[in-house]
Amino acid sequence: MKKLLLLLLTLVVAMVITGCSKSNSPEESDAGTDQTQTIVSEDNAENQSETSLDEKPQIESEAKPESKPEPEPEPVTKPETKPDTLPDTKPETKPEDNILKGELKDIIGKIYSIAGVKLPQTTFTELTPENSEYFIGTNNIEYVEALASEPSIGSYPHSLVLIRVKDGTDINKAKAEIKNKVNPRKWICVGVEPEKVVIDNIDNLIILVMDNESDKFHNAFLSLAK
**Per-residue pLDDT tens for 192-202?**
999 999 999 99
The tens digit of pLDDT for each residue in 122-148 reads: 999 999 999 999 999 999 999 999 999
SS3 158: coil
**Cα(123)–Cα(108) distance, rounded to whole angstroms?**
11
Q: Is 78 part of any domain?
A: no
- 199: containing domain: 98-223
Which of 2-6, 27-31, 173-177 reaches the highest mean pLDDT? Answer: 173-177
Query: Do residues 31 and 115 share a domain?
Result: no
In order of 89, 96, 112, the CA distances from 92 in angstroms are 9, 11, 26
Query: Do residues 172 and 118 share a domain?
Result: yes
Domain count, the chain: 2
Q: Is 217 part of any domain?
A: yes
Q: Is 155 part of any domain?
A: yes
Query: Do residues 122 and 213 share a domain?
Result: yes
Query: Do residues 112 and 206 share a domain?
Result: yes
Query: Do residues 120 and 216 share a domain?
Result: yes
Which of 3-17, 34-48, 53-67, 193-207 reaches the highest mean pLDDT? Answer: 193-207
Query: Do residues 106 and 26 share a domain?
Result: no
**Cα(222)–Cα(226) distance, rounded to whole angstroms?**
8
Question: Do 138 and 178 meet the contact criterion of CB atoms below 8 Å apart?
Answer: yes
Per-residue pLDDT averaged across 27-49, rounded? 44
SS3 59: helix
**Cα(147)–Cα(163) distance, rounded to whole angstroms?**
7
Q: E strands, 2-42, where?
A: none
**Cα(196)–Cα(216) distance, rounded to whole angstroms?**
11
Question: Do 100 and 164 meet the contact criterion of CB atoms below 8 Å apart?
Answer: no
Q: How confident is the model at residue 75 (pLDDT cuts 50, 70, 90)?
A: low
Per-residue pLDDT averaged across 202-225, rounded? 97
Query: Do residues 6 and 104 share a domain?
Result: no
Q: Is 93 part of any domain?
A: no
Query: Do residues 107 and 197 share a domain?
Result: yes
